[in-house]
Amino acid sequence: MARRKMKPQNLRSKQWFDNPDNPGMTAIYLERTVNWGLTVEELTCGKPIIGIAQTGSDISPCNRHHIELAQRVKDGIRDAGGIPLEFPVHQIQETLKRPTAALDRNLQYLSLVEILYGYPLDGCVLLTGCDKTMPAMVMGAATVNIPSIVLSGGPMLNGWWNGKRAGSGTVVWEARKLQADGTITYDEFIDVVTKSAPSIGHCNTMGTASTMNALAEALGMSLPSCAAIPAPYRERGQMAYATGRRIVDMVWEDLKPSDILTREAFENTIVANSAIGGSTNAPIHINAIAKHIGVKLDIDDWEKVGHEVPLLVNMQPAGAYLGEEYFRAGGLPAVMNQLLKAGKIHGNAITANGKTMAENVKDATISDEDVIRPYDKPLVKDAGFIVLKGNLFDSAIMKTSVISPDFRKRYLSNPKDKDAFEGRAIVFDGPEDYHHRIDDPSLKIDEHCVLFVRGVGPLGYPGSAEVVNMQPPSALLKAGIRDLPCIGDGRQSGTSGSPSILNASPEAGANGGLAVLKTGDRVRIDLNKRSANILISEEEFAARMAELKKNGGYKVPKSQTPWQEIQRSMVSQLSDGMVLKPAVKYQKIAQK
Ligand code: FES
Ligand code: MG
């Protein structure tokens, strides 16, 4: 039985439904809430009212099965003595939304904040899945700070094509190259890609969705073992029921996001991200959550805390397997157990079930050591991100664990200059420009070039596009050059295994150094020194900047919708989490 801190008469929902000091409003609040069959007795007898934030719909297929899962959440809430009220939030579907789904993370966040704050809710279950839905939901819960718990939707079953695992997204990057070099036709390309999506659920690779849901668990915001259960498995419905039961006790225990989302929890999350081979989108979203709960965390912490952590999870894009094997091998608890035994995480961090992370994972075991490696037999050592700086940007990240042996041989094997490379910059202004010109012979792109894309940050391409991993021109692909170094102020899909340098901040749209880069410039990237520079003098750099300012700065395209304009007027850079700057000062607002 939960240790009760909260008394029934102090429940937040009482202010709406049981407030004799204000009979007029109380009657109105009750009158319309009972019109679909609820009773006044249910709403006033001292049971917690629990919201279920619904992120699934026909236009968000990654999360669509939450429509059914919500029923099991309601069963759990009812059985534990609560009253469930399900509500929709603004929808986000990574693969459908134009120009980019990331634009909507902050809109879904806002829509949740308004509901959690303005409606009679004592606690909330956050239904998450597709990439941005986890950060949007947890950011909203952090701002309002009422008891909240994440229920992930889980990945799709494994995809298969020609007897091989076809992982979401990852297979697209591979198949695109096969189509470009003529190995497969357009119809075969569509066939491969759709075969990677064999069931309900979100991406079955360790892309941004599996990453962010694993990190919800690493933060302590979901029940142990929640993230990895594939969407169609019976355990997913059982987890929905357990989560519904648990949120009621969290209300009685008054266990709020601010009790869980501590600096220790964020450090655990950075470590976990390295060990699972998590998405390069994680720093953006996790830094945003930290900003909204008021914990100090910055982009440099990702290298400081996370770089010297080994990759343990052998899952695409960094490894071989997909979500089903990962779940069977033990999922996140097995990974956290390894990290705990290695002294890499804070075992005392409190989690949603009221226990510490150490209590939750101390007995978790690995059932297949090829899928989840023991700490001392990793796939890659030092698997976290490095943070690069220079005159090109103040910060950009790189996931060094995905540098292939071929890439290392071509660019990083000079014995005199290990871990550094120089090349000729080829600069594209946005993905459309890249598509128009990548095969233009006048650019003379060869294997000594570095591809840049700019104008794709939070201001340039509102929300920041996932376009930094660019494939080389067809002529190079046909000659066997599968990757060129890519750098940009946008993001890249978590399902891409490309070793791009990305999330560059400040972006060209904010007149960062990328804005003055020219095609033909020599650039030098030194991974050891963590530097990335255009090889021009300080005077030349200053002159180019002055010229840029004189011409009114880097031009970004016009906003196409009201929200694009609103977000552009107040959004921070990727290194700062791409948050709405005025929103950050609203913290723990349910307690004010
Ligand atoms: Fe929705 Fe990958 S597209 S999870
Ligand atoms: Mg994505």
CA of 126 to the centre of ligand 1 (A): 17
CA of 276 to the centre of ligand 1 (A): 17
Ligand nearest to the CA of 279: 2
Predicted pLDDT at 496? 78
Predicted pLDDT at 184? 92
User: Do 249 and 155 contact (CB within 8 A), yes or no?
Assistant: no
How far is the C-alpha of 258 from the C-alpha of 49, rounded, in Å?
20
Q: Which atom of ligand 1 is nearest to the CA of 62?
A: 1
What's the chain's length in residues?
592
| Residue owning the nearest CA to atom 1 of ligand 1 | 130
Ligand nearest to the CA of 169: 1
- Kindly report the backbone phi and psi dihedral angles of residue 553, in degrees, each rounded to the nearest multiple of 5, phi listed first: 85, 175
Show the CA angle centred on residue 528, arms to residues 524 and 529, nearest 5°: 65
User: Do 502 and 491 contact (CB within 8 A), yes or no?
Assistant: yes
User: Do 193 and 240 contact (CB within 8 A), yes or no?
Assistant: no
Predicted pLDDT at 248? 98
Q: Which helix (H) or strand (E) holds 83?
A: strand 83-88
Quick one: tokens of 65? 């099965």
- Kindly report the backbone phi and psi dihedral angles of residue 523, in degrees, each rounded to the nearest multiple of 5, phi listed first: -125, 150
Dihedral of alpha carbons 383, 388, 392, 393, sign: positive
Among 148, 66, 531, CA closest to 351? 148
CA of 176 to the centre of ligand 2 (A): 17
Q: Which atom of ligand 1 is nearest to the CA of 63?
A: 1
Q: Show Cβ contacts of residue 446 under 8 Å, excluding neighbours closer than 6 positions.
A: 476
CA of 493 to the centre of ligand 2 (A): 4
| Residue owning the nearest CA to atom 2 of ligand 1 | 203
Q: Which atom of ligand 1 is nearest to the CA of 129?
A: 4
Q: Which of 59, 63, 65, 95 to mutate to test the pocket of ligand 1 (most atoms within 8 A of CB)?
A: 95
CA of 168 to the centre of ligand 1 (A): 8
User: Do 499 and 403 contact (CB within 8 A), yes or no?
Assistant: yes
CA of 431 to the centre of ligand 1 (A): 20
CA of 150 to the centre of ligand 1 (A): 17
Q: Which of 65, 131, 173, 206 to mutate to test the pocket of ligand 1 (most atoms within 8 A of CB)?
A: 131
Predicted pLDDT at 129? 98
How far is the C-alpha of 548 from the C-alpha of 284, rounded, in Å?
28
Q: Which atom of ligand 1 is nearest to the CA of 495?
A: 2
Predicted pLDDT at 494? 78
Residue that the structure tokens 């990305």 belong to:
502
Cβ-in-10-Å burial (0-12, 13-18, 19+) of 503 comes to buried
CA of 185 to the centre of ligand 1 (A): 25
Ligand nearest to the CA of 153: 1
User: Do 158 and 323 contact (CB within 8 A), yes or no?
Assistant: yes
pLDDT tens for the 592 residues of the chain, in order: 457 899 999 999 999 999 999 999 999 999 999 999 999 999 999 999 999 999 999 999 999 999 999 999 999 999 999 999 999 999 999 999 999 999 999 999 999 999 999 999 999 999 999 999 999 999 999 999 999 999 999 999 999 998 999 999 989 988 988 898 889 999 999 999 999 999 999 999 999 999 999 999 999 999 999 999 999 999 999 999 999 999 999 999 999 999 999 999 999 999 999 999 999 999 999 999 999 999 999 999 999 999 999 999 999 998 999 999 999 999 999 999 999 999 999 999 999 999 999 999 999 999 999 999 999 999 999 999 999 999 999 999 998 878 888 888 888 888 888 889 999 999 999 999 999 999 999 999 999 999 999 999 999 999 999 999 999 999 999 998 888 999 999 999 877 778 899 999 999 999 999 999 999 999 999 999 999 999 999 999 999 999 999 999 999 999 999 999 999 999 999 999 999 999 999 999 999 8
CA of 275 to the centre of ligand 2 (A): 20
Quick one: tokens of 209? 């969705």
Predicted pLDDT at 505? 98
Ligand nearest to the CA of 63: 1
Cβ-in-10-Å burial (0-12, 13-18, 19+) of 377 comes to exposed
Q: Which of 60, 100, 173, 203 to mutate to test the pocket of ligand 1 (most atoms within 8 A of CB)?
A: 203
Q: Which of 168, 196, 316 to mutate to test the pocket of ligand 1 (most atoms within 8 A of CB)?
A: 168
CA of 283 to the centre of ligand 2 (A): 14
How far is the C-alpha of 514 from the C-alpha of 454, rounded, in Å?
7
User: Do 146 and 590 contact (CB within 8 A), yes or no?
Assistant: yes
Cβ-in-10-Å burial (0-12, 13-18, 19+) of 563 comes to middle
Predicted pLDDT at 40? 97
Write the DSSP string, 356-369. BHHHHHTT---S-T
Residues with CB under 5 A from ligand 2 (ion): 94, 131, 208, 493
Predicted pLDDT at 30? 97
For residue 177, how many other CB atoms are within 10 A of its CB?
A: 17
How far is the C-alpha of 337 from the C-alpha of 487, rounded, in Å?
35
For residue 570, how many other CB atoms are within 10 A of its CB?
A: 12
How far is the C-alpha of 421 from the C-alpha of 30, rounded, in Å?
68
* Ligand 1, CB cutoff 6 Å, lining residues: 62, 94-95, 130-131, 168, 202-203, 207, 209
Predicted pLDDT at 2? 52
3-state secondary structure of 340: helix
